[in-house]
């Protein structure tokens, strides 16, 4: 990802976990399962995935050790980690963190890491136990893209800085306010892409709009090109905060998809002249009415901004509640 050149179009695609599928693209690279028999044939253009098989007694450290024996490992730029233990109840992603720390002198070209490429048939997102991710930032100074899935146990402590990280993606069914505060305390001067899946309070997502003030009001990450505050239970509040945010004049892509946005929140955004000058406004998988959808479709040719509105949902008939798209 070049400076000021956001190109993670893959993040606008439908979440593959819905379909019980692993990622096929990560950091603009095709994801390929690593096989010791085949080895690393494309260390720059391919993201190699390491995952343990159920009931096979495999450990992620053993899988990574096989990859480290390849003579191309020092040129490898992207790694994806799926299931890290044949029995996921054994613990969190600390085993992945420790394995990566042990390999830092061999993975000298590593630029992109995804920890938690685990779909719902393997583990619900709320059951994925993460750990403190900060040691990865400290051990890999050339890292540009860091993606994690799962909010349980997720932490970024101690508060560290990273001079080269350009994309931070945190997918959860419930992201705690404490973890959001830790993320906002990170010193990431080159961060262009910040994507937080805020999730449900039923699964630890206890944040509120005030917890996003460091991002929206204080502009903690002033060089953002893409801001994704996705999968939220308070999307209308976020819309109100965004239209008042000075950050709005700087970003090019605003992603509020997979949340609980209503017509009221959508109208705030669509009628805002600064929002209209964005490149992309992603409002897909929310709760917008046919009236709003028809309005956007009729006016799209007159907008500078590309508005994404596919996959709208309807309120639950039993309790008339709105829910974020990914929770349990």
Tokens of residue 142, six digits: 């050339």
* Total number of domains in the chain: 1
Is 179 a member of any domain?
yes
CA distances from 260 to 41, 285, 313 (A): 43, 8, 9
Closest of 43, 14, 8, 52 to residue 26, by C-alpha:
8
Q: Which domain holds residue 320?
A: 172-328
- Give 53's pLDDT tier (boundaries 50, 70, 90): confident
The verdict on whether omega for the bond into residue 158 sits within 30 degrees of 0, i.e. cis, is yes
The tens digit of pLDDT for each residue in 4-44 reads 567 889 999 999 888 899 999 999 999 999 999 999 999 99
Is 300 a member of any domain?
yes
Task: Provide the 3-class DSSP secondary structure of residue 185.
Answer: coil
Is 299 a member of any domain?
yes
The tens digit of pLDDT for each residue in 58-76 reads 788 889 999 999 999 999 9
The tens digit of pLDDT for each residue in 279-314 reads 999 999 999 999 999 999 998 888 999 999 999 999
CB 10 within 8 A of CB 24: no
> What's the pLDDT at 88?
67
Is 283 a member of any domain?
yes
Q: Is the pLDDT of residue 165 over 90?
A: yes
Is 279 a member of any domain?
yes
CATH number at residue 323: 3.80.10.10
Is 41 a member of any domain?
no
Is 280 a member of any domain?
yes
End-to-end CA distance of the chain: 32
Q: Is the pLDDT of residue 3 over 70?
A: no
């Amino acid at each position: 990802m070049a400076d000021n050149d956001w190109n993670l179009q893959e993040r606008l695609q439908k979440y593959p976990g819905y379909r019980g599928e692993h990622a096929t693209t990560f950091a603009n690279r095709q994801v390929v399962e690593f096989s010791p028999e085949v080895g690393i044939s494309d260390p720059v253009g391919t993201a190699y995935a390491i995952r343990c098989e159920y009931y096979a007694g495999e450990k992620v450290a053993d899988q990574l050790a096989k990859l480290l024996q390849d003579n191309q490992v020092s040129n490898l730029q992207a790694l994806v980690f799926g299931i890290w233990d044949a029995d996921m109840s054994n613990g969190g992603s600390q085993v992945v963190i420790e394995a990566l720390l042990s390999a830092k002198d061999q993975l000298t070209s590593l630029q992109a890491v995804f920890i938690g490429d685990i779909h719902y048939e393997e583990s619900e997102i709320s059951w994925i136990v993460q750990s403190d991710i900060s040691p990865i930032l400290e051990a890999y100074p050339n890292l540009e893209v860091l993606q994690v899935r799962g909010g349980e146990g997720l932490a970024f402590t101690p508060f560290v800085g990273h001079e080269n990280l350009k994309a931070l993606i945190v997918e959860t069914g419930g992201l705690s306010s404490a973890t959001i505060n830790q993320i906002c305390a990170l010193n990431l001067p080159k961060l262009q892409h910040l994507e937080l899946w805020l999730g449900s309070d039923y699964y630890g997502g206890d944040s509120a709009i005030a917890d996003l003030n460091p991002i929206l009001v204080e502009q903690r990450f002033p060089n953002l090109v893409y801001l994704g505050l996705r999968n939220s239970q308070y999307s209308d509040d976020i819309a109100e905060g965004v239209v008042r945010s000075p950050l709005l004049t700087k970003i090019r892509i605003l992603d509020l998809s997979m949340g609980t946005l209503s017509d009221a929140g959508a109208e705030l955004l669509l009628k805002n002249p600064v929002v209209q000058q964005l490149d992309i406004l992603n409002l897909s998988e929310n709760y917008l009415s046919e009236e709003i959808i028809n309005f956007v479709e009729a006016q799209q040719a007159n907008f500078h901004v590309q508005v994404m509105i596919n996959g709208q949902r309807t309120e639950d008939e039993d309790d008339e509640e709105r829910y974020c798209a990914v929770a349990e």
